[in-house]
Structure 1
Amino acid sequence: MTSAEQLALLGGAPAVEQPLPHEVWPPPAEPAELSELAEQRNTDISIKGNSGPIGQLETDFLAFLNGGARFAVTFNSGTSALLAAYFALGVREGVDVVGPALTYHAALSPVFALRGDVVLADIDPDTRGLDPKALQAALTEHTKVITVVHQWGHPCDMDAILRIAERNGLRVLEDCSHAHGSHYKGKPVGTFGDAAVFSLQANKAVYAGEGGILVTSDPGVHDRATLLGHYRDRSRDTVIDEDLRAHWVTGFGLKLRMSPFNAIVARHALAAFPARKEARHRCLRHLGAQLGDVTYLEPVHVADHVDMGAWYGYKPLYRPAELGGVPRSVLIEALRAEGMEVGAPSGPRLSTLPLYAHPENPLFPGVPKKGIAPGTGSHAEYVEQHALSLPTFTNWPEDTTLIDQYAEAFRKIGRHREALVRYAAGPSR
């Protein structure tokens, strides 16, 4: 057997020739962005209300949502925007928020800062977001908010979730941090719930470095969210309710505002998004087609009524039985030896994290937590234990050769199944 035909893990030549890293993000700044940042430095480095690039970003983002939301408010992070959203939706001590059992921790963790409680519901194995049936079963007499996370870019079943919310008089918060530009039945995510938050952290398709933006059509949500993170000019000029506007000098005591520099970066990323989205879609459609004959992978499911928008990595599921029961960790080891940038998704089930699992709120000793979560055998557990995380290829057609080599690495593993099984069972493991 030649070196090229052996697994690289066992001394063969890697299938992927391009050196790591394969996902370089965010892309380098264009001259126009750098020029605007330099000009802002010499014009004004302070934050005055929503003037200048901050106000421009908010206007641009509402246009990005096709007018599906009335208000946009920027924050210094997606987590801060979520905190403001939860506060504005009425989360406080004695209030339960139902959210998905498998997602990034910050989608729900701000609830604890407001003395609220989190109830975790299982996910839909296709959308990777909230399963409507599990959501219905998880509701309590104290539930006030449903948090929908469009996990890894795929929208949730919004029709079913909104029916449950309407039937039970609940508010809906959309976390769209992975889903910039995603659409459900032709409508942008972020325009379904009572409020929505988009993270603009550096790994996101639309990025500010650090930042977040809250959108809503509810004036009350807008006013309360604004006052939680903004004060003086912004609150004086934009808060609608006269009684709430009385707090304009102080807001509600916090300062969670976005820097104008972050707003400039985000505006340029937003302007570049349509072309980058199209390139990502071409790359990942090509990757999906190439992996169609790899039997030990379950392809990424994208419903016919869904536009994945930005994507957020490419995350197929591993089928161990199709590869002789080789553990996922060994498969990842073999794929990395072949030169791939691959791993397991970084976010574990929330119920395994102390912040969620501990019976007491760590921010407020003495405030108990329910800790309700789906147990073993859940869809959340299965996805957590079987998902693989591949790069979000963005450069089309330049990445075609690299994508083809990734597909060949997967096929090579399949061709040498027995050798990998023996390696996994070896005495050194």
Structure 2
Amino acid sequence: MTTADRLALLGGAPAIEQPLPHEVWPPPADEAELTELAAQRNTDISIKGNSGPIGRLESDFLAFLDGGARFAVTFNSGTSALLAAYFALGVREGVDVVGPALTYHAALSPVFALRGDVVLADIDPGTRGLDPRALHAALTEDTKVVTVVHQWGHPCDMDGILRVAEQYGLRVLEDCSHAHGSRYKGRPVGTFGDAAVFSLQANKAVYAGEGGILVTNDPGVHDRATLLGHYRDRSRDAVLDEDLRAHWVTGFGLKLRMSPFNAIVARHALAAFPARKEARHRCLRHLGELLADVTYLEPVQVAGHVDMGAWYGYKPLYRPEALGGVPRSVLIEALRAEGMEVGAPSGPRLSTLPLYARPENPLFPGTPKKGIAPEAGSHAEHVERHALSLPTFTDWPGDRTLIGRYAGAFRKIGRHREALVRYAAGPAR
């Protein structure tokens, strides 16, 4: 056997020789972005209202949503925007929020800062987002809000979720942090709920470096969210309710506004998004086609009625029974030895994290909360234990050769199944 046909883990030559990282994000700024950033430095480095690049970003973002939302408010992070959304939707002590058991922790963690409580519901194995049936089963007498996360870019079953919400009078918050440009039955995500939040953190398809944006059609949500994170000029000029506008000097005591520099970066990323989205779709469709005959992988399934928008990583599921029961950790070790940029998704089930699992709110010592036991045998547990995370390739056709080598590395592992099984069972392990 030649070294080229031996697993790199066992001394063979790697299938991929291109140095890491293979996903370089965010892309470098072009001259127009750098010029605008430099000009802003000498114009105004702290915008108190929503003029200049702040106002332009908010206007551009509403257009990006096809006019499906009336208001947009920028914040210094997606988490801050979520905090403002929960506050505006009435989360407080004695209020339960139902959300998905598997997602990024910050989708629900601001609830604890408001003394609310979180109830977790299982995910739909197809969408990887909240399952409407599990949502229904998780409702409590204190449930007032349901949080929908369009996990990894795939829209949730919004018809099913909205039926439950309407039946029980629940407010719906969409966390679209992975789902810029995603559509459900032709309609942009972020336009279904009472409020929606998009993270603009550096790893996102539309990025500000750090930033977030809240959108809504509800004037009351807009006013309360604005006052939570903004004061003086912004609150004086934008808050519609006269009684709430009385707080314009102070807001509600916090300053969570976005920097104009972040807004400039985000506007340029938003303008570049359509071309980058199309390139990602071409790359990841090609990757999915090449992996279709790799029996130990379940390629990402995209429902016919959805548009994945930006994607957020490519996350197939591992089928260990098709690879002799080799643990996922060993498969990842073998793939990395072949030169692949691969890992397990970084977000564990929320029930495994102390912030969620422990029965005391750490922000308010002595304040009890429900606490959440890990869910055995759930779809969330299955996805958590079996998902792989691959790069979100964006350069088409530049990444085509590299994508082919990724597929080749997966096939190489499959050809040497027995060798990997022996390695996994070896005394060193």
Q: TM-score range by the shorter chain?
A: over 0.9
Q: Secondary structure at the match of 1:377?
A: coil
Shift of 1:374: 6.0
Match of 2:147 in 1: 147
Q: CA deviation at 1:373?
A: 5.3
* Structure 2 counterpart SS, 1:43: coil
Partner of 2:325: 325
Checking the alignment, whether the CA contact within 8 Å between 1:149 and 1:156 is kept in structure 2 is yes
- CA contact under 8 A between 2:360 and 2:371: conserved in structure 1? no
The answer for the alignment partner of 2:214 in structure 1 is 214
1:371 deviates by: 2.2
CA–CA separation in structure 1 for the residues paired with 2:394 and 2:226: 35
Shift of 1:301: 1.0
1:279 alignment counterpart: 279
Alignment of 1:42-81 (within 5 A): 42-81=42-81
Which residue in 2 is equivalent to 1:412?
412
Question: Displacement, 1:340?
Answer: 0.1
How far did residue 48 of structure 1 move? 2.3
Q: CA deviation at 1:366?
A: 2.1
SS in 2 for 1:423: helix
| Deviation for aligned residue 1:42 | 0.7
Query: Secondary structure, in 3 states, of the residue corresponding to 2:271?
Result: helix
3-state SS of 2:249 partner: coil
Match of 2:257 in 1: 257
Cα distance change of structure 1 residues 114 and 316 upon mapping to structure 2, 3 Å threshold: same
Match of 1:74, SS state, is strand
Matched, 1:118 2:118: yes
Distance 2:9 2:412 in 1: 11
Deviations 1:39-88 (A, max 9, x none): 00011111220010000000000000000000000000000000000000
Q: Secondary structure at the match of 1:391?
A: coil
Residue 370 of structure 1: CA displacement?
1.0
Displacement over 3 Å in runs of 4+: none
Q: Is the 8 A contact 1:393 1:399 kept in 2?
A: yes
Q: State the match for 2:136 in structure 1.
A: 136
One-letter amino acid matched to 2:247? H
- The code of the aligned residue for 1:422 comes to R
Aligned to 2:298: 298
Q: How does 1:296-375 map to 2 (within 5 A)?
A: 296-372=296-372, 375=375
**Aligned pairs, how many?**
429
Q: What is the SS of the residue equivalent to 1:293?
A: coil
Instruction: Check the 8 A contact 1:101/1:374 in 2, yes or no.
Output: no
- C-alpha contact 2:228 2:253 (8 A) present in aligned 1: yes
| One-letter code aligned to 1:96 | D
- Specify the SS of the correspondent of 1:301: coil
Distance in 2 (CA, whole Å) between partners of 1:208 and 1:183 is 22
Aligned to 1:266: 266
Q: Does 1:18 align with 2:13?
A: no
Q: Which moved more, 1:365-374 or 1:128-137?
A: 365-374
In structure 1, distance between residues paired with 2:327 and 2:260: 47
Partner residue, 2:383? 383
Q: Secondary structure at the match of 1:421?
A: helix
Q: Which runs of 5+ in 2 are unaligned?
A: none
Equivalent pair of 1:360/1:367 in contact (CA under 8 Å): yes
Pair 1:247-2:258 in alignment: no
Structure 1: distance between partners of 2:314 and 2:299? 9
Secondary structure class of the residue paired with 1:371: coil
For each residue in 1:196-234, what CA deviation from the matched residue of structure 2 results, as whole angstroms up to 9, or x when unmatched? 000000000000000000000000000000000000000
Asked whether the 8 Å contact 1:151–1:178 carries over to 2, the reply is yes
Q: Where does residue 189 of structure 1 map in the other structure?
A: 189
The C-alpha deviation readout for 1:357-378, integer Å capped at 9, x for no partner, is 1100001122211124562000
SS class of match (1:120): strand
Q: CA RMSD in A?
A: 0.6
Instruction: Give me the whole-angstrom Cα distance separating, in 2, the residues matched to 1:210 and 1:369.
Output: 31
Task: Tell me how far apart the structure 2 counterparts of residues 363 and 46 of structure 1 sit (CA, whole Å).
Answer: 30
Q: Distance in 2 between matches of 1:245 and 1:402?
A: 55
Kindly indicate whether the alpha-carbon contact (under 8 Å) linking 1:121 and 1:374 is maintained by their aligned counterparts in 2.
no
